[in-house]
Amino acid sequence: MLEAANKASATIIKSVFHKFSPQGVTGVVVVAESHLAIHTWPEHNYAAVDFFTCNEKMDYSAAHEVLKNGLNAQRVSSRKVSRGTEVNIETKNN
């Protein structure tokens, strides 16, 4: 996850990972641009990864490749979800 964040040109602030017994990991990498999170279920050969960011210039494909290779993934599905596009932020002068 840290290598993926680095390859995407994210600014890493902090990371926390928890290993479950007997297997599985949950972790988050907090980046200046938002966060990356992972949850694994080795008993099902499954991992879910979220890459939440507000920086369109990040290299998502590089992060994707790092994670795909690092997890030795045989199948990968991904989707991009745009969030916040419907938000109308007004500034008020007091």
Q: Which residues carry out catalysis? A: 34, 39, 54
Peptide bond into 22 cis (omega under 30): yes
Candidates 49, 42, 58, 44; CA nearest to 8 is 58
Q: Tokens at residue 55, please?
A: 């920086």
